[in-house]
Chains A and B, each alone.
Chain A
């Protein structure tokens, strides 16, 4: 432990709190867990009983079949994010949690929009689809279904554009994310 402390004066007033403070922004948590039965239930149950709200959740395998990845978005204004991650860490099956910094992260979400479309509307919708680099994946006489991939902002922007035509259904996968650069997430 090295040399003992020196006798310099420490003003108690200068001590700052550490943790327990809300950040006020959205957080994307990337969680690696053992691929064992019940892990999803444990994570979902933890959020429910601690009163944390999950905004979106995507689960899938990783390159290692014994490990799963959860990508979870949480509102850091509603809950102190360090309390959320510390509680998640207490789950024995959770191996690693990373709170991804927005600037250093590539995040994507896929959404399917089923929009009501007559002959006039269809052309306009396809124009928006092009602008958003989406894809028409199904067409019928009175509807068109579009696939859009991107950040949640982009998907929400597309939704705003097509809602006036009559949005029949929308399905979103929830965000998945990796860190930028060579290092692993």
Chain B
């Protein structure tokens, strides 16, 4: 059975969101998403309700793409990051630890080099929080009878 091997406290998620927000606003990025390797959405910026479905999709598809590209690993030998150049926007996904991934969405006006440079610092900042989370297991319990379905 898949057990989520980490647990983030409310205050840690707030701290992560504020770090993502600082990263996003300083580089003028459109969207930053932190997810785990299974595509579970952890945090995103800008942290507004309208962005949640988009962030959720980025998390699932981003992690699935990294998972699928793993199958090409012997050919391209690069699982640390992926870059997608779109017509209007770009997406850069990098693996910040074996368990966690960060996706940044930005316009062509933003140089990829600056995203690569500043994500290093962000990764280090997030590492201490995520390492602590990895040492805890998820214990949230919701029963079927609790769900409004």
Chain B associates with chain A: no
